[in-house]
Chain A
Amino acid sequence: MRQHKLTKILVHGIIAVLASSQIVATPPKNRPKTYKKKKSDPEETVQENSDRSQTTSAVSIETGNRLAIFEFEGKEISVPLTARMTEEFRNTVRRLNIFEVQDRGLTQRINIFRPETDDYWDCWNKDCAVERGKLLGVNYVIAGTIEDSDENQYLIKGRLYSVDLESLMNDFSFNSTGITDSLLLGMKKLAYDVSGLPIPDTLSIGADTTKIVDLAVEKDKSRFRLPDIDIPDKIKSLLLSTVVPGTGQMYSKRKYVGMGFLATEITLAGFAFIWQSDYKQSWGGFQNTYNSYQNLTDPKELLELRPDIIRYARETKRYNNLMRNVRNLGLGIWVVNMIHAYIVGPEELYEGNILFGTEYDDGSQSGSGPGMTAWDLASGFGVRGMMLRPFVKNTALEDYRNHTSGGFKIKTPVGFTLGPIRTFLQYEISNYTFDQKNYDNENVISGFNRATIMNIDYSNLLRIGGESVEKSIFFGLTRSGDGNGIMTGMDIGFKIDAEVPLYISFFGRTNSMKSPVHGDMFWVTAGANLGVDIP
């Protein structure tokens, strides 16, 4: 009966996740943004050009803001340095969130269209740039060059073309002194310039020099860097979801679908743990009774053992089937997740080189538009699968052995805030098992603790560990087949990624239970849980 309920919960959970995924599967429309003309900078020299007359002071880009940045051409400097500077330029423009910057891999597709050259600076005139921009399906293109004009003097030049308007939008150049102190800074300034944003004061020579030195040191320290292989983004998305379900979707800016996949897999894993625990009990019972049957000679005892053996054997088969089913379901969802990750992989996406999104995410997927979405309703909820094991127990349990168990808990947004302290309600189902001998049902204390828990988050009170570490204490009332009780404990959660509310937590807790059969039971448990919270 218990299993039947669990199965119903599982089915409803999957339906809910799939329904939610359907709702958020529609890619968000990009909000129109206004491109403003760059502000002048005293340090830079803007070259006059014959096409200058075509530059507009303010351009609406409501038709689209997709930008392809061609590889800068290096003159008298190495190709890797040019590529590095171009990528730095791309990343900076991308982070400024004015343009949707096409990834390098996609921009390089120009090689397929025009295999005869990869020297994009050759594409200096308007017609060539517009033609290639159309081939790449972007609204804007930038072509540029980095030239070592003198000893440690670098001249960075570039042009911004509108593919839609078929015109030159901006023509810029910049002088930089010394590769180690200002070339990188120059590319960043250029990115601000191209994006029409004021160049911040923090982009000073001194600050940038420090950053470059830090980067150099960091590079030296990092001995296990992956080779810089240019993997297509769709394949990256597929690989990520192959390794961890949902992460490919997160990479492809489908965070909530990704979290849905991950939460579903975690939930299935929780069920698998529960059924595995039941299986172990049945298997232990089977082994005990079957061994007794083989060794005993008394007909009465043998006859009494028969139904137990058959029952335990059936139970092991049943729980094994449940585990197989949940495993197959999990693997099926895993495969679907992989296919989905490949399909939604960022072929046409122009943003997001960061695994779990960018820090400039405009929240367009979070249902912030008009109308309430399923995710709005689900906001504040979370699900976590857990593993736990008792390590201290009182005299009522001293003759029993400890066993690792599983469970899951659902976090709700129900709670209140009292100054720096936040509270929220949780519901948890976890298994506990103590046995005297090989999990035999006759010698086991086992059941499901259904707990209603009040969680008190004091992270804002005690800021050790920063924002990515959640610290809380909790207490709750428990109910199980063995009796009612109280649970108290503490939990330290680590946010695995800054952008995705994926947590791994470690907890310690006390459990007390008043059992009419076993007396007053008390045990202390330690464990870990993994799960997601819906922001």
Chain B
Amino acid sequence: MSIYRNRIGIILVALAVCWFACEEADYQLDNLSDPLNLGLTPPAIFFHPSSFNIDVNDTFSVKLYSYDLPDVAGAHLQVLYDRGSLQVDSVITDTLFRIEADPLLFMDDAEGVLDVFLFAMPTQTVENVSGTDAMARIFFNVISPGISELVYGDSTRIVNAQNIPVQIESYGKAVVDAQ
């Protein structure tokens, strides 16, 4: 009988390891940086990050971000800021308008209104870009304390390769708390 018990034991161990069910994936997609959690309707443009706590005399950067843009080839991004609290240090291009070469960038900063012009450099096969990505990056210096906003101005306009404007459904904004 003990022989059978040994045999049964072997078979039992082999079978017992097979009977399982595992944990199921439980998740919440609630990251505050996720464009889907920003309350925007695409196509949209927004600032990333959308809030800053900065000390006076520090420098910070904010990305001008697109969210689910259709095919576009150029943009005029007008950014309004508090010139009493912030000062534009520099503007650089980012990845959205980069096809093979970096896009062309022009800027005009006057009395709290920063106009950024971006133009993608088309290739023989690609002349438009699309999607969710950073278009440009602005570096600000904090010159005095205060709470201010960064918003897109009314002149903001994004066009495709045929210079036809794309309808932007939502605009994001950012809050800067300088101390």
- On A, residues with C-beta under 8 Å from B are 222, 224-226, 243-245, 247, 265-266, 268-269, 272-273, 276, 279, 283, 286, 290, 293-294, 296-300, 302-303, 306, 309, 312-313, 316-317, 320, 323-324, 327, 330-331, 355, 385, 496-497, 502, 504, 528, 530
Contacts and interface: CB of A to CB of B under 8 A. Distances in A.
B12 A299 contact: no
A272 B18 contact: yes
B24 interface: yes
Interface of B: 1-2, 4, 7-8, 10-12, 14-15, 18-25, 27, 29, 31, 33-36, 48-49, 65, 67, 131-134
B19 A303 contact: no
17 contacts: A224-B2, A225-B1, A244-B12, A247-B8, A272-B18, A272-B19, A299-B33, A299-B67, A300-B133, A309-B27, A309-B29, A312-B25, A317-B25, A327-B19, A355-B4, A385-B14, A530-B11
Given A302-B31, A313-B25, A225 B132 contact: no
Contact of B34 (A247, A299, A528): A299
A531 to B, nearest CB: 10
A142 to B, nearest CB: 27
Contacts of A245: 15
B36 A303 contact: yes
A145 B31 CA distance: 89
Nearest to B34: A302
Nearest to A270: B18
Contact of B20 (A222, A265, A276, A293): A276
Contacts, number: 106
A309 B49 CA distance: 23
A286 B8 contact: no
B17 to A, nearest CB: 8
B36 to A, nearest CB: 7
A477 B1 CA distance: 43
B79 to A, nearest CB: 18
Given A290-B27, A496-B10, A302 B35 contact: yes
A303 B21 contact: no
A300 B36 CA distance: 11
A167 B15 CA distance: 53
B28 to A, nearest CB: 9
Nearest to A269: B18
B25 A316 contact: yes
Contacts of B36: 303, 306
B35 A226 contact: no
Contacts of B11: 244, 496, 502, 530
Contacts of B65: 299
Given A313-B25, A327-B21, A265 B1 contact: no
Nearest to A356: B4
A299 B2 contact: no
Q: Name B's interface SS.
A: mixed
A297 B38 CA distance: 13
A10 to B, nearest CB: 14
A283 B29 contact: no
Contacts of A298: 33, 48
Given A222-B2, A273-B18, A327-B19, A244 B8 contact: yes
A530 B15 CA distance: 9
Nearest to A273: B18
A320 B24 CA distance: 7
A299 B132 contact: yes
A272 B7 CA distance: 23
Contacts of A302: 31, 33-35
Given A244-B8, A299-B48, A300-B132, A306 B14 contact: no
A286 B49 contact: no
Nearest to A309: B27
Contacts of A297: 31, 33, 49
Contacts of B8: 243-244, 247
A330 B24 CA distance: 21
A323 B29 contact: no
A299 B29 contact: no
A226 B4 CA distance: 11
Given A294-B31, A297-B31, A323-B20, 4 more contacts: A225-B1, A269-B19, A300-B131, A300-B134
Contacts of B1: 225-226
A327 B35 contact: no
Contacts of B20: 272, 276, 323, 327
B45 to A, nearest CB: 11
Nearest to B18: A269
A327 B23 CA distance: 15
A496 B132 CA distance: 63
Given A225-B1, A243-B12, A306 B22 contact: no
Contacts of A496: 7, 10-11
Contacts of A320: 21-24
A323 B22 contact: yes
A323 B24 CA distance: 12
A241 to B, nearest CB: 11
A220 to B, nearest CB: 14
